[in-house]
Amino acid sequence: MAELLYRLGAFSARRAWVLVTTWALLLLTTITLMIAGNAKLSTAMSIDGIASQVVIDELKASFPAASHGSGQVVFRSTSGKAFSATQVKAISNALLKIEKMPDVAGNLNPFISQNQIDLQHSSLAGAHNQIAANLESLQKAQATLDKVHAQLDAATLKKRQDLINTALNALSQQSADLANGQKILAASNNFRLVSKDGKTALATIYFDKPLDEVEKANITAVADALGKAKLPQVQVEFSKELVQSLDGILGTGEIVGIVIAGIVLLLMLGTFVGAGLPLLAALLGVGVSATITMALASVISMTSTTPTLGVMLGLAVGIDYSLFIINRHRRQLKSGMKMRESIALANGTSGNAVLFAGLTVVIALVALNLTGIGFLGQMGTMGAVAIVASVAIALTFTPAMLSLIGEKVLSKRERKALANLPELHSPEELHSRDESDRKASKPVWATAQPWAALVVSIFVLITLALPAATIRLGLPDGSSEPVDSTAYKSYSLITTAFGEGANGQIATVVSVAAKPTQPETLKLQAGVVTDIMALHNVSAATPAAISKDGKTFLFQVVPTRGPASAATEQLVKDLRALAPSIQEKYQAKLGVTGLTATNIDVSQKLNDALPLYLGTVILLSLLLLILVFRSIAVPLIASGGFLLTVFATLGSVVAVHQWGWFGFLFDIHHPGPILSFLPTMLIGILFGLAMDYQLFLVSGMREAYVHGKPAREAIVQGLRLGRSVVVAAAIIMITVFGGFAFSHLSSIRPIGFGLAIGVLLDAFLVRMLLVPALMALLGDKAWWLPKWLDRVMPDVDVEGAKLERSHIH
């Protein structure tokens, strides 16, 4: 493989403009496909087969309207008074205009609906009085009939008695209906669409299909239209569903991260040209992979997190992979190697390590498909596309650009020093001239005091891991959005006016085999809402809709707490526990769906899939590392260190995002549950990145050991040779990922933070402290490999020692 990459590097250097033009045309093609595709992205994260999704699938067949998407709009009077007639009319007219827009099925006008609710409450007392009056009249009629029955013939008596009995039976049914109506109204007493002070109104916009099938432009058009409507002294805010957007993927935080990465590159490489090349390579890779992802999103349903994750990964690894090759090329040039020979050799040595490093990341990401969770596997696959693009660009575009810029990759001082260097004749001569090699013999703390280094690193990692024991998984709600966003303002207004639970109403579905009569329907609805109100943490329960065939009933349950709270999560479990009782009482089937129910189901599915995923990734990567390092202990140490990194990272994420520690630094004003797929995603990405650093550091150790250095000296030399570039690469990743920790997308923030802290811990504590310390304690045993296995395994020469001997004469 090293020889093949050497030839690829040489070809790229000779045909530089061909390679650069090819990549430019490829980018132009993918951009065209993206624009033509008009991608559809969704914030919905569903999994086939989970209980909440089964309910939705059944509704699509039996009650299509109930499975369609919706979003909430909050209107707030800024006059300090209740809505005036003028304001009500303006809002109602604006909502009527919305109904004519594409994909909009209708809306729930809060003023009309609240009037109907109030009328039902006020008419209930009148109905009760009327029934009492009718009963009194019938009782008087019966008494009169009893007095005169002797004076009437049998036929007349029977006729009058039948009339009274019929009226009494009807009155009895009316009384029963009235009692059921009272139960329903009592359960929905706290359900309001206009606040009690009359200053806040909550409207709902209904679409004619599920939200992930509605054109994104049509969703945002609704918000735009209502936002621009002429509503006197009325504040308008929208729920997350109506304002989902990927605008500003590279916001202020992300751009700052890239700028810091550029500064690190400039300090390390010493020239603007050299520093700009890794950034250019990374941006090209991101452009290609992101546009491919968006083009595919036009035919495949994707979550809005998927392309953002690809951008995050592409930027970080794209810079690093290009940097590793450029750094090797610069070292060789400064040792006197000719330009194109140096480019080809850097591609065959460091490029070989880049290829295997990228392969470990791809394995970890593609393996996410083993979880059986569609959107997570899709994120992994598209992330792998970003990695493949970064590797391909590093191995072709970077050598081509190095050929074009020539010696400008070195500073003026470095170029002057080349004039007095004689021609190279051997790999030993190359390394003897390399300033980094000459400094590599200086001792390091991890090998000089291995037990101390081991205790310190493990203590810090375990301490950071402790909060992970309290992790609670979920999906972000409006409270986690930036405080200046309309989604957060909407959440806050709803909480103030209607209670926190109004932000996360729970859809409960009851279905029967045969269509009930009107009295039976009323009895069923009254019974169900009464049973629901008997549960803890329920603010209101109200019948919301009935299917056209009269067999499916939709109820809206308003919890007392927000959608991401532990209390609401428990309420979903309690609602599902009602199913046997509802079946026994009404021969009806009960199901629960909605955001909170989906959160619970997704989290459980992810927890069940995690052991299989983790085991598969570690097994495959162990095999790859055994092949690369020709050792049993080194891969085991690498994997053990990775597990410590994962737990410490998860503990850090819990402390900041769930507990709220240092939340003010990351705009975490409402700590809540951790993103449900974050642990699985972190494991996949961090494992690949951890193995990157393992490869770049330990391959140097193996190279020194193979060339006859004692085990401890080989560790020192490998660590010294690779440390500077790995430190720079780690800082670049930390700043790029850290930039996404401040993203305007609430689902991206914890991923960015987790990856940044994970790289920090893994690179500086595990790879540069824990691993060298353990290897120093093991000595020569660290490189032990059964002889039979050594004979059957191919030699991948990841460090490029054989390549150097065959090409430097």
Q: What is the pLDDT of residues 45-63, one digit of tens each?
A: 556 677 887 887 787 777 7
- Taking the C-alpha atoms of residue 21 and residue 16, their distance in angstroms, rounded to an integer, is 9
Task: Report residue 245 as tokens.
Answer: 């957007």
Task: Report residue 353 as tokens.
Answer: 């390590």
Contact (Cβ atoms closer than 8 angstroms) between residue 659 and residue 464: no
| pLDDT confidence of residue 87 | 93
| pLDDT confidence of residue 393 | 94
643 alpha-carbon distance from chain centroid:
22
Spatial CA neighbour of 356 closest among 47, 802, 796, 16: 796
| pLDDT confidence of residue 132 | 60
Higher pLDDT, 472 or 372: 472
Average pLDDT over residues 346-353: 83
Residue 774 banded pLDDT, cuts 50, 70, 90: very high
pLDDT digits (tens, 9 = 90+) for 392-402: 999 999 999 99
Spatial CA neighbour of 208 closest among 64, 366, 332: 64
**CA-to-CA separations, 721 to 328, 352, 434, in angstroms, rounded:** 11, 17, 10
Average pLDDT over residues 306-326: 82
Sheet holding 538-546, edge to edge: 538-546, 552-559, 506-512, 588-593
Q: Does residue 805 surpass a pLDDT of 80?
A: no
Per the prediction, the chain carries an average pLDDT of: 82
Residue 333 banded pLDDT, cuts 50, 70, 90: confident
Average pLDDT over residues 192-196: 91
Least confident interval from 57-61, 341-345, 461-465, 713-717: 57-61
* 3-class secondary structure, 42: strand
Q: Which residues contact 221 (CB under 8 A, 6 or more apart)?
A: 101, 102
| pLDDT confidence of residue 116 | 83
pLDDT digits (tens, 9 = 90+) for 63-120: 777 777 888 899 999 998 999 999 999 999 999 999 889 888 888 899 988 888 777 7
Higher pLDDT, 433 or 695: 695
pTM of the model: 0.78
| pLDDT confidence of residue 803 | 63
The dihedral through the CA atoms of 349, 354, 359, 361 has a sign that is positive
Q: Does residue 124 surpass a pLDDT of 70?
A: no
- Taking the C-alpha atoms of residue 428 and residue 241, their distance in angstroms, rounded to an integer, is 63
Q: Does residue 783 surpass a pLDDT of 60?
A: yes
% of the chain with per-residue pLDDT over 90 = 22
- Which residue type, as a one-letter code, is found at position 275? A
Pairing of strands 506-512, 588-593: antiparallel
Q: Does residue 258 surpass a pLDDT of 70?
A: yes
The dihedral through the CA atoms of 210, 216, 220, 221 has a sign that is negative
pLDDT digits (tens, 9 = 90+) for 564-580: 888 888 999 999 999 99
Average pLDDT over residues 237-255: 68
- Four-CA torsion 110, 111, 112, 116, nearest 10 degrees: 90
Q: Which residues contact 80 (CB under 8 A, 6 or more apart)?
A: 199
* 3-class secondary structure, 285: helix
DSSP, res 620: H
Largest CA distance in the chain: 141
% of the chain with per-residue pLDDT over 70 = 86
| pLDDT confidence of residue 75 | 94
Q: Find the radius of gyration of the CA atoms of the chain.
A: 34
**DSSP one-letter string for 687-711:** HHHHHHHHHHHHHHHHHHHHTT--H
Residue 808 banded pLDDT, cuts 50, 70, 90: low
| pLDDT confidence of residue 565 | 84
| pLDDT confidence of residue 251 | 58
Spatial CA neighbour of 560 closest among 549, 571, 575, 551: 571
Q: Does residue 160 surpass a pLDDT of 90?
A: no
- Taking the C-alpha atoms of residue 380 and residue 610, their distance in angstroms, rounded to an integer, is 14
| Own/partner long-range contacts of 438-442 (Cβ < 8 Å, ≥24 apart) | 439/720, 440/716, 440/717, 440/720, 440/721, 441/713, 441/716, 441/717, 441/720, 442/716, 442/720
Q: Does residue 486 surpass a pLDDT of 80?
A: yes
Least confident interval from 1-5, 236-240, 281-285: 1-5
Task: Report residue 366 as tokens.
Answer: 């593609």
**How many Å from the N-terminal Cα to the C-terminal Cα in the chain?**
21
Q: Which residues contact 100 (CB under 8 A, 6 or more apart)?
A: none
| pLDDT confidence of residue 176 | 67
Higher pLDDT, 313 or 502: 502
Helices marked H in 335-434: 339-366, 374-405, 412-418, 427-433
Task: Report residue 545 as tokens.
Answer: 């809709």
371 alpha-carbon distance from chain centroid:
15
Q: Does residue 551 surpass a pLDDT of 60?
A: yes
* 3-class secondary structure, 232: coil
Task: Report residue 611 as tokens.
Answer: 């052991």
| pLDDT confidence of residue 22 | 93
Contact (Cβ atoms closer than 8 angstroms) between residue 378 and residue 302: yes
Task: Report residue 124 as tokens.
Answer: 């209930």
For 162-181, give the secondary structure using H, E and C: HHHHHHHHHHHHHHHHHHHH
| pLDDT confidence of residue 671 | 85
Contact (Cβ atoms closer than 8 angstroms) between residue 386 and residue 365: no
- Which residue type, as a one-letter code, is found at position 509? V
Higher pLDDT, 272 or 648: 648
Residue 757 banded pLDDT, cuts 50, 70, 90: very high
pLDDT digits (tens, 9 = 90+) for 135-158: 566 566 667 656 666 666 677 667
Higher pLDDT, 490 or 736: 490
| pLDDT confidence of residue 581 | 92
Residue 245 banded pLDDT, cuts 50, 70, 90: low
- Taking the C-alpha atoms of residue 113 and residue 96, their distance in angstroms, rounded to an integer, is 14
Contact (Cβ atoms closer than 8 angstroms) between residue 277 and residue 298: no
Scanning the structure block, which residue is given the tokens 């305007």?
A: 744
Spatial CA neighbour of 188 closest among 558, 534, 536, 504: 558
| Own/partner long-range contacts of 697-702 (Cβ < 8 Å, ≥24 apart) | 697/722, 697/723, 697/726, 697/767, 697/768, 697/771, 698/629, 698/634, 698/638, 698/771, 699/353, 699/628, 699/629, 699/798, 699/799, 700/799, 701/775, 702/629, 702/630, 702/631, 702/783, 702/799
* 3-class secondary structure, 302: strand
Q: Which residues contact 682 (CB under 8 A, 6 or more apart)?
A: 646, 649, 650, 653, 751, 754, 755, 758
Least confident interval from 9-23, 409-423, 537-551: 409-423
Pairing of strands 473-474, 41-42: unpaired
Question: What's the CA angle centered on 393, arms 390 and 396, to 5 degrees?
Answer: 150
Higher pLDDT, 165 or 11: 11
Spatial CA neighbour of 427 closest among 722, 717, 699, 808: 808
Scanning the structure block, which residue is given the tokens 């992930």?
A: 212
Average pLDDT over residues 319-344: 84
| Beta strand ranges found along 497-603 (DSSP E) | 506-512, 538-546, 552-559, 588-593
Task: Report residue 618 as tokens.
Answer: 């570690």
Using the CB atoms, write b or e for 637-676: b if 16+ within 10 Å: bbbebbbbbbbbbbbbbbbbbbeeeebeebbbebbbbbbb
